[in-house]
Amino acid sequence: MLGIPIRKEFGLDPVQLSWISAVAVLNGSIWRLPFGILTDRYGGRIVFTTMLAVTAIPAFLVSQANSYTQLLVYAFLVGLAGNSFTVGIAWNAAWFPAHRQGTALGVFGAGNVGASVTKLIGPALITLVPAAGALGGVIPGGWRFVPFLYGVLLLVMAAVMWVGTPRVDRIPGQGRPIANMLKPLRRLSVWRFSLYYVVVFGAYVALAAWLPRYYVDVFDLDLSHAALLTALFIFPASLLRPLGGYLSDRYGARRVMYSSFGAMLLASLVLSMPQGHIVLYVPESVDPSGVREVMHFTMSVRLFTGLVFVVGIAMGVGKAAVYKYIPDYFPKDVGAVGGLVGALGALGGFFLPPLFAYGEQLTKMPQATFMILFLITLVSAIWMHLTVVGFLQRAAPQLKDDFETPATSAERGE
């Protein structure tokens, strides 16, 4: 949302612009494991409140940036707020029983909808304050008003958090040695969950930042319409986390992940199709020109938005399912495991925007974005399925080589 006016003011190319959002995501990723452990050891109340208050400082600095380098540095520091997700996950898990954790974590994760709200009201906020600012320049104007307002809201929420939450916190990791809390990270399943989270969260973060520019550059829409259509992706990807948590509580995270990956694969496959047609060389007796064009395909804004909406639904449901796995597998180590899963998943949001940009430069096709999304989803789905097959074979080794259910006596006519 801020990318378009920032690109215009500083004269940035797509790769430079992608790095601004990427460095913010990086800082919102690399500290998730330490913050998860801190939450388990000292409680979410003090960790969450401190993080909100500290992040307000670089938010104000972003509104004063005068160069690309300053933007990169301040955006990196603002990204610290991204670690609040891991703090909240560990904190919520400490307060809810196992049979309600999927729903509880899904409701907390629905806070991602703030990105949708920003996309919707961002263009209006940019024009709300004159470019010269207000109150003698104390309040900056134009796009700079948005990070200034964000800093104010961070301070307000820090105060609300400190005053409005129980003073006696639940601290599941109090007194436990750090080495003991890190022991579960040796398990391969932790890294498998991390890859799932790259697909459903890292790619979500990347697309939320990437789609406005995609709409502007590919479909020639103005910023306000691009922001509105991007919100149609972000809303389901955020608001459906509670539904994903509920479904995971009721049917199991694995079934939900199969559905999420399947929907993402189908939608991203169509989204990755280049516009144009297939040219067949035929005899001149069939066509005087010697060629025939078949399978014409053009991606309309309506079809594109509909498919991206499906991806958003799958991501919203899938994000909750991934975090349902964690308290099921590691009930005493949600902070550490959730921190690592969140860190590696969010790192996908750091690497993917530049990867999208380089993919577009290499192929000369904007659809490269969705080719990349399709490939990482396919790898995750295959790994999950092979894991499930392995579980089943270990549970029933006598059926390892049986591919059909034996016929019953009635079916054989006996």
Check pLDDT > 80 for residue 373: yes
**CA pair distance 208, 353, nearest whole angstrom:** 10
Amino acid present at 180: N
pTM: 0.71
**CA pair distance 6, 339, nearest whole angstrom:** 32
- Highest-confidence segment of 38-42, 98-102, 211-215: 211-215
**CA pair distance 334, 89, nearest whole angstrom:** 8
pLDDT-based confidence at residue 382 (cuts at 50, 70, 90): very high
C-beta separation of 316 from 238 below 8 A? yes
Share of the chain above pLDDT 90, in %: 23
C-beta separation of 229 from 305 below 8 A? yes
- What separation, in Å, do the N-terminal and C-terminal C-alpha atoms of the chain show? 70
**Helices and strands (H and E) in the chain: how many:** 19, 2
pLDDT-based confidence at residue 89 (cuts at 50, 70, 90): confident
Least confident of 157-171, 260-274, 340-354: 340-354
Higher pLDDT, 154 or 27: 154
Check pLDDT > 70 for residue 164: yes
Work out the angle between the directed axes of helices 145-164 and 44-62 (0-180°, nearest 10). 160
Check pLDDT > 70 for residue 276: no
C-beta separation of 43 from 175 below 8 A? no
At 217-231, the pLDDT tens digits run 889 888 778 888 988
Q: What angle do CA 382, 388, 392 make, to 5 degrees?
A: 145
Q: Please give the distance of CA 384 from its chain centroid, rounded to a whole number.
A: 19
**CA pair distance 360, 373, nearest whole angstrom:** 13
pLDDT-based confidence at residue 256 (cuts at 50, 70, 90): very high
**Which helix (H) or strand (E) element contains residue 178?**
helix 178-182
Higher pLDDT, 145 or 131: 145
C-beta separation of 292 from 286 below 8 A? yes
At 54-64, the pLDDT tens digits run 999 999 999 88
Beta-ladder partners of 134:
139
Check pLDDT > 70 for residue 406: no
- Of 349, 348, 350, 342, which is closest to residue 89 (Cα–Cα)? 342
SS3 86: helix
**CA pair distance 84, 64, nearest whole angstrom:** 24
pLDDT-based confidence at residue 152 (cuts at 50, 70, 90): very high
Check pLDDT > 70 for residue 339: yes
Per-residue confidence (pLDDT) for residue 137, from 0 to 100: 67
Check pLDDT > 60 for residue 412: no
**CA pair distance 247, 195, nearest whole angstrom:** 21
C-beta separation of 300 from 227 below 8 A? no
Check pLDDT > 80 for residue 205: yes
C-beta separation of 142 from 122 below 8 A? no
Helix, strand, coil distribution of the chain in percent, nearest 5: 75, 5, 20
Tokens for 22, please give them: 């990427």
